[in-house]
Amino acid sequence: MYSDTEGLAERLSAVKVDDTHFKSKHLPLKAGNALPIAYGGFCIGFAVNAATATVPEGRMLYSILGQFLGPVMIEEERSFTVSLLSLTSVLVLRF
């Protein structure tokens, strides 16, 4: 279970499998629901960590977009594939 001594960034960290594939370092935490699920916000946190690991040094996160995110199972690791959408001198887009 999450505690005050465990950092949120660590809880949402992603482990690099290869250049574009990542997996969650920790399982999602159960949310206030009787079912064994976590809410979609955990996936956003994992995805942000994975995507930022693929961005060139010195670039900063500007915005995140997530639309109706369904629940995730708490017994399974999350895995992600980060896709490059655009790379310019001022903008990097990831999906």
Q: How far from 65 is each of 2, 57, 93, CA to CA, in Å? A: 25, 22, 12
Residue 63, pLDDT > 90, answer no
Q: d(Cα 44, Cα 65) in Å, to the nearest integer?
A: 9
| DSSP-derived pairing of the beta strands 92-94 and 84-87 | antiparallel
- Rounded CA separation 7/70 (Å): 24
How does the average pLDDT of the chain come out, rounded?
Answer: 81
- Highest average pLDDT, of 10-14, 18-22, 49-53, 82-86, comes from 18-22
How much is the average pLDDT of 58-78? 82
The residue that leads in pLDDT, 87 or 10, is 10
Q: pLDDT at residue 53 above 90?
A: no
Say if residues 43 and 9 touch (Cβ distance below 8 Å): no
| Per-residue DSSP letter, 46 | H
User: Would you say the C-alpha torsion 29, 44, 63, 61 has a positive or negative sign?
Assistant: positive
* H/E stretch holding 86: strand 84-87
